[in-house]
Every structure is written in C-alpha cells, then in structure tokens.
Structure 1
Amino acid sequence: MAMNIFHRLLCRSSMWERTSATRIVPWALSGLDLGAEALEIGPGYGANVPALRDRATTLTGVEIDPVLAARLRARYGGSMTVIDGDGTDMPLPPGNFDSVVCFTMLHHVPTAGLQDALFAEALRVLRPGGVFAGSDGLDGRLFRLIHLGDTCLPVPPETAAARLCRIGFTDVEIDTGASSFRFRARKPD
C-alpha cells in the first residue's frame, strides 16, 4: 500500500497527531463506548494511538507494514500490542474484541473486494454486540493531489452502509462531514 513522500511526512507529523486527537478520533467515535478490548486496523505511524489509549483498557493494532509495526512497538509497546498482519486476513481468533476501529486508511486498501474482506475480518474478530467504527476521507481534487502516486481507492460513503450490511453488520450509520465520513456498525448479538 504505497504512500508518496509528502503523505508519509504528513502522517508522521505532530500536526497530524494533534488533528487526529482533537478532530478525527473524537468525531468518529463521538458517543461510542469501545469497551475493554479495542483493535485498530492499520495504525500506521500511530497518530490515533494516544486518543485511543484513553478509550479502552487494552489496545491492539494490526499493521501491514513491518517497518511501521516496529516503529509502533518502539513508541507504544508498553501501552499497546502490535501485530504484524493484513487487515484483510488477520492472524487473530474470532470474537476477541469489543471494538474494531480504523481511521483514514480504508482508501489505501487497493480494491473494493479487499475493502470488503477487511470489513468481514472486523466482523469476525468482534464479540457479539461489538462495534466497528472509524472514518475515511472523501474523494475530491485535494484528496487526490495528496495521494498522487499512492494506492488510493476511496470508499464512497453512499455505498458504505449497504456494503457493511451485506457483510453482516447491523445498526449501520454513515455520517458525512466536510472532508471525511464516519461509520459505525454492530456485530449482531
């Protein structure tokens, strides 16, 4: 999942971490209880980790890039478990988490089929009644400019609810903001 140099610099900046902590995560998770055991798919450089550590007792991250996984372990190893793995085929047992989250990474999953596989994996690792939530960017000129040379397949928010329902989620909610959308869905009891 390629990212251009500008995008890599942005994602590991303190500015992005502040944006994540003060805007992205609070908006995406507003009113949600993540429960005790939370999983973040694709934590990348870890911008969301500080905000997520306050919302769950135990935080686990599944990261596809081994360099980023090692960086996450070095930076947050005492406060989260980092697993090398692909969100579309996670090396985790079923029904292990109260919540699964992902932020600003779905558009880096290269095909709609793999995005749906990631959704199915989120459902698989959730406990009954668990929540899948997060956010992703909206397609547009600036979004595409930032992603020049990247793997970039935006998830259309107008199709996201149907896709999540087709996978087996219930209580699906999609809300669109100025430059991103958030999603929430539950695993049936």
Structure 2
Amino acid sequence: MGMNYFHQLLCRSSRWERASATQIVPWALKGLDLGDNALEVGPGYGANVATLRTRVPALTGLEIDPALAARLRTRKFDQLRVIEGDATAMPLPDTEFSSVVSFTMLHHVPTPALQDDLFAEAFRVLRPGGVFAGSDGLDRPTFRLIHLGDTCVPVPPATMTARLTRAGFTDVEVHSAATYFRFRARRPA
C-alpha cells in the first residue's frame, strides 16, 4: 500500500503528528473509552502512538510495511507492541482487544472488498462489547492531489453504516466534517 514521497514526508512530519494528536484523534475518539488493550491498524510512522497511550494502558500496532514496522519498533519500542502483518488477514487471535482504531489509512487499502475484509478482521479480534473507531479523509481534490501515485481508494462515508453492519457491528455512527469523517461501532456484548 504505497505512498508517494511527498506523502511520506507529510506523514512523518512533526506538523502531522501535532495535527493528528490535537485534532484528528481527539475528534475521532471523543467520548469513547478504549478499554485496556487497543489495536491501531496501520500506525505508519507512529503519529498517533503517544496520544493513544494517554487513553489506553496497552497498545499494539499492526503495520503492513516492513520498513515502517521496523521503524516503529526502534522509535516507539517502549510505547507499543508492533506486529508486522496485513489488516485484511490479521495474524492475531480472536477477541484479544477491547478496541480497534484506525486513522487516515483506510483509503490505502487497495479495494473496497479488502476494506470490508479489514472491517471483518477488526470485528474478529475485538472482544464482545469492544469498539472499532477511527477516521479517514473525504474524497476531495486536495486529498487526491496529496495521494498522486499512491494507493488511494477513498471510503464513501455514506457506505460505512451498511458495511460495518454487514461485518457484524452494531451501534454504528458516522459523522462527516470539512475534510474528514469519523466512524465508531461496537461488537455486540
């Protein structure tokens, strides 16, 4: 799931980490309790790790890119457990996590069918009563420009409720803002 050079620079910048920590993650998770053991799907350069650790005592990151997984292990080794793997076929046991989160990465999953596989896998690894939540960018010209040459398959927010419900989730909520949307859903208790 590739990213162009500009996009890589942006995603590893302190400016992006600050924006994610102060705007995206708090907005996406507003009012949610992540429980005691969270999984971040696609942590990339680790922009959300410090913010997530203030909300949950145990954090695991599932990263498909071997270089990014190695970087996370080196730079964030004391803050999260890093697993290298594909979120559409997670190398993780059933019902391990109290929450699964994903921020601005769903559009890097190369097809809607694989995005649905990711949703099903998030459901599988969640404990009963656990929450799946996160955010992604809205399909706009600027969004597309940043992603030139990337894998970029935007997720239409209007489809999220049906897709998450098909995966087994209940209490699905989707809310759009100017450039992002957030989602949250529960695995039934």
Q: TM-score, normalised by structure 1?
A: 0.99
Match of 2:48 in 1: 48
Alignment of 1:130-169 (within 5 A): 130-169=130-169
Q: CA RMSD in A?
A: 0.4
Match of 2:70 in 1: 70
Match of 2:123 in 1: 123
% identical aligned pairs = 71
Whether contact under 8 Å (2:106, 2:136) holds in the other structure is yes
Partner-residue secondary structure (3-state), 1:172: strand
CA distance in 2, matches of 1:79, 1:174: 29
Code of the residue aligned with 1:83 in structure 2: it is I
CA offset digits 1:70-110 (Å, max 9, x no partner): 00011111121000001001110000000000000000000
Whether contact under 8 Å (2:49, 2:79) holds in the other structure is no
CA distance in 2, matches of 1:161, 1:173: 7
CA offset digits 1:31-53 (Å, max 9, x no partner): 00000000000000000111101
**Number of residue-to-residue matches in the alignment:** 189
CA distance in 2, matches of 1:185, 1:165: 9
Code of the residue aligned with 1:93 in structure 2: it is P
CA offset digits 1:116-136 (Å, max 9, x no partner): 000000000000000000000
CA distance in 1, matches of 2:73, 2:140: 34
Match of 2:39 in 1: 39
Code of the residue aligned with 2:129 in structure 1: it is G
Partner-residue secondary structure (3-state), 1:145: helix
CA distance in 1, matches of 2:64, 2:142: 26
Residue 2 of structure 1: how far off its partner (Å): 1.0
Code of the residue aligned with 1:118 in structure 2: it is L
Q: TM-score, normalised by structure 2?
A: 0.99
Whether contact under 8 Å (2:50, 2:79) holds in the other structure is no
Structure 2: gaps (5+ residues):
none
CA offset digits 1:10-65 (Å, max 9, x no partner): 00000000000000000000000000000000000000111101110100000000
Match of 1:13 in 2: 13
CA distance in 1, matches of 2:181, 2:148: 21
Code of the residue aligned with 1:36 in structure 2: it is D
